[in-house]
Structure 1
Amino acid sequence: MSENQNLLAEQRRALILDEVRRRGGVRVNELTRKLKVSDMTVRRDLDALARQGVIEKVHGGAVPVVEASTHEPGFEAKSSLELSAKEDIARAAAAMAVPGSAIALAGGTTTYALAHHLLDVPDLTVVTNSVRVADVFQSAQRPSGGNGQRPGAATVVLTGGVRTPSETLVGPVADQAIRSLHFDVLFLGVHGISAEAGLSTPNLAEAETNRRFVQSARRVVVVADHTKWGKVGLSSFATLEEVDIFVTDAGLSGEVREEIEEHLPGLVVAGESEGTTDI
């Protein structure tokens, strides 16, 4: 059987993961026929997905890993997942940021990727509860070999709070700071998003802080790769009706995309859109 050269390994693994989650398990021979690749290629893909902790290999195939609703991976663990998808999402979302506006960036590895792309948007005021996001702007703030702030550099406000495994500051101190502010746009990463549970996270304190972010924003843009759809954390903090735009990647299956569009008309699939949605 000839190898299918049209799919990159990461795209192929995204399709495999979607198939495993949608069907509750797949067999190796089914994947070889569907993807038109060799048995060895499929097994390497399953090994890679198993190392990421998103599937469990079983005899002849794979099944999904069922996470506890309270499970919260650390920042480093999440940062190695869906890298190209996060970059695509970040580029599309950055095109929505208007120079001179006040934006909020909640914590997460996708908003961390987005922060790098926002460095070229002049005169932003950025409020964030992510230590990693704040570091991105801080490291780019000063011109090389000089003193003072780089012209057009963002003004960054880092909320206080208690640090989570996701390098995010949450709790009453963060909530109070956010409550008194107003943002043109909130860019929000999520642990999970679904039609039934809305936006959710395994961390109760983070849910409350995210709830404050949503309440303080004129527009809410969720940035999350396709693996987040259908995932549910312990605590919901917003409904889908509170989301204006969902920016995700092209790893969605047609069936999942139809389901999302039923609930979220503001869908942007990175790589298929120029990211010029008016927000």
Structure 2
Amino acid sequence: MNDTDNIFQRICEDRDTLSRAFRQIADFLIAEPREFITNPMRVLSEKIGVSEPTLIRFARHYGYQGLPDLRLSFAMSLATRDTDVAADMEPRLKDKEVVNRIAKQMIAAKAAELTAQDQSLLLDSGSTTQFLAENLVSAPAKTILTTSLNSVLILRNAEQHRLMMPGGIFRHAAMSLAGRMAEMNLADMTFDTAYIGADTLHPEHGISTYSEEEAHLNRAMIRASKRVVVLADASKFKGPALHRICDLSDVDIIVSDSTLSSQVRSAIEATSTELILAELSLPNLELEDTHE
């Protein structure tokens, strides 16, 4: 995959040499970046006037498997240019669920092993923590508070658990609750572990997310927990710092995958944060389906 910092610039530079259909996509992407990032493929196809297969071919032209990972990379390239602008262009949860899906599922399975120590836990609204919720359906009884509506739907029939939500403002792109109400409801509560995701992670700059509102809520979750576990696939270690959640020193365990670079591994292992890696083979990576 191409460097996320360059994709916006590359498309701008390529514009005049692209085919007519690809030029239509490029023009729309440049003029309406938020629409490009947040609209379903079907809607984009209608707005731009090209077919859905053409959108996929455009993504593959730039080295991506499909539209979701192009859009995540494009959003990250915008974040590099202006974090405040990027906050209004948070990628769709459906895109996040698809991109690096196998890695996220393997990470979630590893994190599920850690929950054996928990009687109570917090789950944030990330795509990887949503996969963790799937692993908890048949787990022994726990008290689970989550900000994710999708995780509630996943766990709704797991009657052994005591399932809670904190209230708050509905965030459409993330299918989650956030805001002051949610933070206040966490203020007087204590949980064994908070399992949170991240949009970017850097050994020096810490953990960050597209949404400033979500960053505030994640910090409240951290304060309400005795242990903090961050779930982040290897791609999350390549992006710029966004809205900061916390420093690495505030995290007890990072669960990532075995494609994480040796340089990043060494940097994390030099800190007090434990690093756990889910084994991920190259054949598994090739099976991913990034069609919307």
Q: What is the TM-score of this pair, normalised by structure 1?
A: 0.71
Counterpart contact for 2:197–2:231, Cα < 8 Å? yes
User: Which stretches of structure 1, 4 residues or longer, exceed 4 Å deviation after superposition?
Assistant: 22-25
Hey, which of these two has a bigger chunk of helix by percent? Answer: 2
Partner of 1:194: 202
Among 130, 143, 159, the alignment partner of 1:125 is 143
Q: Distance in 2 between matches of 1:51 and 1:209?
A: 26
| 1:95 partner amino acid | E
Q: CA 1:261–1:21 in structure 2 vs 1: closer, same or farther (change >3 Å)?
A: farther
Counterpart contact for 2:4–2:239, Cα < 8 Å? no
Q: CA deviation at 1:184?
A: 0.4
* Contiguous gaps of at least 5 residues in structure 2: 8-59, 281-292
Q: CA deviation at 1:202?
A: 1.9
Q: Distance in 1 between matches of 2:235 and 2:200?
A: 9
Q: Describe the superposition over 1:174-193 as per-residue Cα deviations: whole angstroms up to 9, x where unpaired.
A: 01111121010111111111
Partner of 2:98: 80
Partner of 2:120: 102
Partner of 2:274: 266
Q: Distance in 2 between matches of 1:233 and 1:100?
A: 31
Identity of aligned residues (%): 27
Q: Distance in 1 between matches of 2:139 and 2:93?
A: 25
Partner of 1:211: 219
Q: Distance in 2 between matches of 1:51 and 1:98?
A: 34
Q: Is 1:89 matched up with 2:97? A: no
| 1:131 partner amino acid | L
Counterpart contact for 1:127–1:157, Cα < 8 Å? yes
Among 131, 142, 162, the alignment partner of 2:169 is 162
Partner of 1:48: 65
Q: CA deviation at 1:107?
A: 0.8
Aligned residue pair count: 219
Q: Distance in 2 between matches of 1:177 and 1:107?
A: 16
Counterpart contact for 1:124–1:154, Cα < 8 Å? yes
Q: Describe the superposition over 1:16-45 as per-residue Cα deviations: whole angstroms up to 9, x where unpaired.
A: x3xx449979xxxxxxxxxxxxxxxxx789
CA RMSD of aligned residues (A): 2.5
Q: CA deviation at 1:253?
A: 2.2
- SS, match of residue 97 in structure 1: helix
Relative to structure 2, which stretch is displaced further, 209-218 or 66-75? 66-75
Q: CA 1:23–1:120 in structure 2 vs 1: closer, same or farther (change >3 Å)?
A: same
Partner of 2:77: 66
* Contiguous gaps of at least 5 residues in structure 1: 1-16, 26-42, 57-63, 142-148, 273-279
Partner of 2:259: 251
Q: CA 1:156–1:233 in structure 2 vs 1: closer, same or farther (change >3 Å)?
A: farther
Q: CA deviation at 1:235?
A: 1.7
